[in-house]
Chain A
Amino acid sequence: MSKSALAYVVSLILLGGAVVLGVTVGTVPISPAVIWNPSSDEAAANILWNIRMPRVVLAGLVGAALAIAGAAFQGLLKNPLADPYTLGVSSGAAVGAVMTLFFGISIPFLGLFTLPVISMIGALITMLAVMGFARLVDRSMKMETVILTGIIFSSFLGSIMSLMIALTGEELRQIIGWLLGSVSMRGWPYVQMALPFVLVGSFVLWLYRRELNAMLFGEERAQHLGVDVKKSKMAILIGGSVLTGSAVAVSGTIGFVGLVVPHMTRLVWGSDHRHVLPLSFINGAALLIVCDLVARTIISPTELPIGVITAFIGAPVFAFIFFRQRRGGL
Chain B
Amino acid sequence: MELSQRARVRAGDHDEFGVLFCEHARAVYNHAFRLTGNWSAAEEVVSLTFLEAWRLRGTVRPDGGSLRPWLLGIALNVARNVSRAARRQQAAMNRLPKAPDVPDFADDLAGRIDDAERLEKIHAALSTLRRTERDVLALCVWSGLNYAEAAEALGVPVGTVRSRLSRARRKLRREPGPASEQVTGDRVGGTR
Q: Do A and B bind each other?
A: no
